[in-house]
Structure 1
């Protein structure tokens, strides 16, 4: 990493920010702060760089974002990485810088014209319309998959003709529920998976769906382990880096908490490993921790959805959601 690269990135940014617009003004002010750090060494807790390498990484992300904004084009995180692979070395390094940059200037990543490859999936009782195009996802569900969730889902007008939005932690559970082909379940449920920890696009789409259909409850169904609960918290409240993205879903309900625990048959329970215990210690600080989690903390045990014995998983989940509907009536 050398000064020539740093100067080159800085010059490209300075040329770009001459274009007048509100978002460019944000970039211009942010660059002034960076220059103040370089010249006067006035770093702040929010904006500081431990090395020249960190600063170069940051400026590359800033420059690529500007390029996308000015040319009305989008770059995927993977594309940016391969364009600068010798600089970032690992995709995780780039991802962290993008999060930091988006957080520091308080602009959502999509507005920065930096997007992710499709990760989440959606199927079930949902129609999407755009101009003269209409997609009935229940028909796609019968083909065994559904639709990839992208960061442009808000360009579609959604119509939910079912009763619930169900977000499942795992892709395997998503396909299991589809393959059972329980018609009452599929015809009444918009089924979504974020394939583990949710990406920006998946969270944004779920919130968009929910806001467009405010009377449809949103449930989350995940493993009974620290990661399963932490993923729920990411959907509901995000983290320090994502607070500005405005895609949190604090009204999402934890379906597991409505399970009749005395009726569940668990094939096996495993002890938490050290990493899970550490995560559990962080979760303990949550004052709204459900009673079921106090039991997990005491026993330091976990079980996955696959460890629960069901005659038919979709029928079981359907009954739980129907029961919640009945409870709301009384």
Structure 2
């Protein structure tokens, strides 16, 4: 972060807090207030009032951010929540406050010294440099993958080209593929998982990787349910403009349910949850969805069945690699 950005953040926070102090001196004729991202939060004498509580929360988070930026320190988002758990009650409250402040200041969350708990993993011929510490991290060093940190990083282009990137929804499948020799069979491949819905660090890492290797295909493998499809959409939304369709969905596709398990329906699960059914209906009605993806999701509505990727392993330890993924990758079958 440049010194000018750092000073701008500090000055903006100081001016906001200075105004609150000046308003306090004029009590009771003037009540201290903050305007964050167009929303006004005001302190008052009612201890149970929502505005007073929100005002206090914002003042606390702003003071924490000021300290972090001034000292050029880092704090985990989880740490922020636990530093005043009785004030925030739920982490989504502190997370939302940080989000509103970043929008108000027009900066990235990490520029405020706040980082997320590392969640995603990467394994393959990828190296990156932590720009704060200077440390170079090799994603091939650990047998179970390298944690993707939420910090300022720079991916280093090496002599070892990446043949393709496979993003996997679940950590269990990510570990299965590593243990079963996926990176040995597909030399030059890179595996990434966000362990469910990907965090900012994982999506940012994938975006930077895709820009460095512009012609490298990016595939995604998810559970065959609406949640897996939505996770694929989250990754797809990482890219914009002409690169919006950079993600190629390998599966598991809903239309494959019958062919994969034509002899046994026990491998699939019924869709019984009403919330899940509503999510399917809403997805089909969306106007921003690829027609082929919409057609696939309509199969959920027709057959009311779903499946987890792990079910493919029940037919043999390496069936996912030797049969399913090999057929998709070699046959250029993706959506």
Which bin holds the TM-score, normalised by the shorter protein? 0.7 to 0.9
Aligned to 1:148: 147
Q: Deviations over 1:167-225 (max 9, x none)?
A: 11111111111111135445232111111111111111111111111111112211121
Matched, 1:302 2:306: yes
* Partner Cα distance (2:57, 2:75) in 1: 16
- Comparing 119-128 with 130-139, greater Cα deviation is found at 130-139
Alpha-carbon offset, residue 139 of structure 1? 4.3
* 1:92 aligned partner: 92
Q: Cα RMSD (Å) of the superposition?
A: 3.6
In terms of Rg, which structure is larger?
A: 2
Counterpart CA distance in 2 for 1:253 and 1:273 is 28
Runs of at least 5 residues in structure 2 that lack an aligned partner in the other structure: 24-29, 42-49
Matches within 5 A, 1:282-321: 282-287=282-287, 288-289=289-290, 290=293, 291-308=295-312, 311=316, 312-315=319-322, 316-321=324-329
- Say if 2:254 and 2:297, in contact at 8 Å, map to a contact too: no
Residue 9 (structure 2) pairs with residue 23 (structure 1): yes
Are residue 138 (structure 1) and residue 145 (structure 2) matched? no
* TM-score, reference length from structure 1: 0.76
Match of 1:78 in 2: 78
Farther off after superposition, 156-165 or 44-53: 44-53
State the match for 2:332 in structure 1: 324
CA distance in 2 between counterparts of 1:44 and 1:115 reads 21
Cα drift, residue 286 of structure 1: 2.4
Distance 1:188 1:25, change over 3 A: same
Aligned to 1:216: 216
Deviation at 1:60, TM superposition (A): 1.8
Specify which structure has the bigger relative contact order, considering alpha-carbon pairs within 8 angstroms and separated by 6 or more residues.
1
Q: Determine helix, strand or coil for the equivalent of 1:209.
A: helix
**What TM-score results when the alignment is normalised by the length of structure 2?**
0.75
1:256-271 to 2 correspondence within 5 Å? 256=251, 261=256, 263-265=259-261, 267-271=267-271
Looking at structure 1, the residues matched to 272 and 139 of structure 2 have their Cα atoms a distance apart, in angstroms, of 38
Paired with 1:255 and 1:320, the residues of 2 have a C-alpha distance of 7
- Cα deviation for residue 282 of structure 1 reads 3.0
Aligned to 1:12: none
Change (3 A) 1:227 1:45: same
Tell me, which stretches of 5 or more residues in structure 1 are unaligned?
1-18
**Partner of 2:275 in structure 1?**
275
Q: Deviations over 1:288-319 (max 9, x none)?
A: 24121121133333211123365421233244
Structure 2 Cα separation of the partners of residues 233 and 177 of structure 1: 23
Runs of 4+, deviation exceeding 6 Å = 29-36, 40-45, 130-133, 257-260
CA contact (8 A) 1:225 1:304 kept: yes
Deviation by residue 1:28-57 (Cα, 9 ceiling, x = unmatched): 676699899x85989798424452112221
Name the count of aligned residue pairs.
Answer: 297
